[in-house]
Structure 1
Amino acid sequence: MLREFADRGSVTSAARALHCTPSAVSQQLRALQAEVGLALTEPAGRGLRLTDAGRALVARADDVLAALDRAEAELDTYRSEPRGRVRVAIFPSAALMLLPGLLHRLTEFPALDVDVRDVDMTPAEVPALIADFDIVVTHRDEHAEQLPTDRLEIVHLLREPLDVALPPGHRLAGQEKVRLTELAGERWLGVNVGFPVDDVLRSLSVRTGVPARPVHRINDFRVIEALVLAGHGVALLPRYTMSPAVVSRPLAGLRAARHIEAVLRTGTSTRPAVTKVLEALHAEAASLSEG
């Protein structure tokens, strides 16, 4: 109001420009004078004029309001363009599958800074990770309950089938599909309890009555593949990340898969930067499933 008064020369003109009453302008100018402890206006005929202190404050007001305009303009770019930092947590096998392509897709947005961490997570650990990350890429057995959505947003990315990994030369390697009953008595290689692939293997065992208890539990799929290739057992592994050196066969008569999802705190996806990362994740996941 002080700047409008200085620009327009009278309380009435300032009030007209600000769409308020002259008394409201006068009241705000008096309140400002009380706050700074100096007279900012003085009588001049039937109106008011600025004092030296008033003119000094108007000059600084121009600086302050210009800075606010610049701040608002910068915030507008964050509202309309993908820029700023997006923190992503992703479990290792999804990082192997999605991360190279995801980062390539985001190179066209130089103002977008993606900070990625690989985290070997169980579904139960996801809500705590939301406190430190904007997007958490997680996985779960397709028969398991989804995370509660009262404070979280769940975005489906990909359904990845789980296939049986067999050593080269295995007696079942020549078949197109393998029944779980045909694997009775095999040495199984699995992941730690609580992780989705183990959940799938246990649920398959319950549904078929065929025991499939891992003799070794290793979370690194590349190590499991090496053990399979060396003839130390069979395993249930994700289809899209499995090495072509391993003999991979789908299960016959059973659906076995994990769902890969992006989890966010409610409202986070409204940020253009987060939206762009989600779009890139969707596109990369789609390219994998189509391929």
Structure 2
Amino acid sequence: MDIARLRVLRELADRGSVTAAARALHCTPSAVSQQIKALQVEVGLNLTEAAGRGLRLTDAGRLLVARADEVFAALERAEAELDTYRSVPRGRVRLAIFPSAALMLLPGLLRRIEELPGLELDVRDIDMTPPEVPALTGDFDIVVTHRDEVADPFPTGRLEVTHLLREPLDVAVPRGHRLAGRDRVELTELAEERWIGVDVGYPVDDVLRSLAVRTGVRPRVVYRINDFRITEALVAAGQGIALLPRHTMDRSRLARLELAGIRAARHIEAVCRAGSITRPAITTVLDLMRLEAESLTAPG
């Protein structure tokens, strides 16, 4: 049933004549009559009848006007609720985040969101490579991903990218390692070490390969493990060394060494489909993630 025609019928009921209804609707009396006739055809009932030189509603017409009032009241309520979504962060935001970023950002982010009633976060941890990110934005409002510092940025034609954090990657060695007492190490000093890496195509592996190109020292990768907690356990057990993110490395059982003369890092970014951040709920989650990321590097 056409909502615009229902509105015309209601104006006829409220104004009492076709001319008055036309004046209220800023159209001609002929247009009002045509809309009423079309509505009658649509419902298959006579909604008006002749009354002297004018029209009056039939019983069916009065019933439909009463129901039309309910319809328009519901539409007004819906519009009012939608206005709050346009101006207040409300509703569910779907977030995909890679595991080590979830470990680093998610606890604090969820605490911040708990302070905002009406805002919900639906989270999935997904071990993703950069080429997979654009497709993920079709299923999630925000995709938190990472890329090697020298990798090309994500294209911004159909995507909006929010930079969250540049996280250095450090060398993790066992506490009893010959270099454990050092603060910094040259990559050439690690030429004979056994490395525990990640699958090919993931940013940390990209960094290792970049280091090999820039220094001529090719790390000897003996295991490929994507779960950094497993990697930490293997390093602590003396099964190799690894390049690990600085902010989540377990310093209680590992020694951390900075790579001298080399900028080894990953960029952590939030990627959305273009235009989606006009929704206040999504903008708010992005702002809270930025605050959480800033807290990791704040002095003290």
User: Does residue 191 in structure 1 map to residue 198 in structure 2?
Assistant: yes
Task: Pick one of 80, 86, 94 that aligns with 2:93.
Answer: 86
Q: Which residue of 2 aligns with 1:60?
A: 67
Letter matched to residue 207 of structure 2: V
Distance 2:255 2:186 in 1: 15
Aligned pairs (5 A) from 1:42-191: 42-191=49-198
Q: CA deviation at 1:172?
A: 2.1
Q: Which residue of 2 aligns with 1:279?
A: 287
CA deviations 1:151-182 (Å, max 9, x no partner) are 22221111000111122132222322111111
Letter matched to residue 146 of structure 2: H
Q: Which residue of 2 aligns with 1:257?
A: 265
Distance 1:239 1:27 in 2: 72
CA deviations 1:48-70 (Å, max 9, x no partner) are 22122211111111111112112
Q: Which residue of 2 aligns with 1:268?
A: 276
Letter matched to residue 267 of structure 2: H
Q: Which residue of 1 aligns with 2:236?
A: 229
Q: CA deviation at 1:144?
A: 0.7
Q: Which moved more, 1:62-71 or 1:91-100?
A: 62-71
Distance 1:26 1:91 in 2: 61
Q: CA deviation at 1:201?
A: 0.8
Q: Which residue of 2 aligns with 1:25?
A: 32
| Secondary structure of the corresponding residue to residue 244 of structure 1 | coil
Distance 2:105 2:82 in 1: 31
Q: Which moved more, 1:116-125 or 1:170-179?
A: 170-179
Distance 2:42 2:225 in 1: 68
Distance 1:290 1:130 in 2: 30
Q: CA deviation at 1:221?
A: 1.0
Q: CA deviation at 1:276?
A: 1.3
Q: Which moved more, 1:70-79 or 1:112-121?
A: 70-79
| Secondary structure of the corresponding residue to residue 39 of structure 1 | coil
Distance 1:60 1:183 in 2: 79
Task: Pick one of 16, 23, 46 that aligns with 2:23.
Answer: 16
Aligned pairs (5 A) from 1:200-211: 200-211=207-218
Distance 2:215 2:141 in 1: 40
| Secondary structure of the corresponding residue to residue 198 of structure 1 | helix
Residue identity over aligned pairs, in percent, reads 74
TM-score when normalising by structure 2: 0.92
Q: Which residue of 1 aligns with 2:255?
A: 247
Q: Which residue of 2 aligns with 1:220?
A: 227
Distance 1:27 1:259 in 2: 62
CA deviations 1:159-214 (Å, max 9, x no partner) are 00011112213222232211111112111111111111111011101110112121
CA contact (8 A) 2:193 2:220 kept: no
Q: Which residue of 1 aligns with 2:4?
A: none
Letter matched to residue 205 of structure 2: D
Q: CA deviation at 1:22?
A: 2.0
CA contact (8 A) 2:97 2:125 kept: yes
Distance 1:224 1:61 in 2: 65
Letter matched to residue 273 of structure 2: R
Distance 1:16 1:70 in 2: 26
Letter matched to residue 262 of structure 1: A
User: Does residue 5 in structure 1 map to residue 12 in structure 2?
Assistant: yes
Letter matched to residue 119 of structure 1: I
Distance 2:272 2:52 in 1: 63
| Secondary structure of the corresponding residue to residue 250 of structure 1 | strand
Distance 2:18 2:135 in 1: 56
Distance 1:141 1:115 in 2: 27
**For structure 2, which runs of at least 5 residues remain unmatched after alignment?**
1-7
TM-score when normalising by structure 1: 0.95
User: Does residue 290 in structure 1 map to residue 298 in structure 2?
Assistant: yes
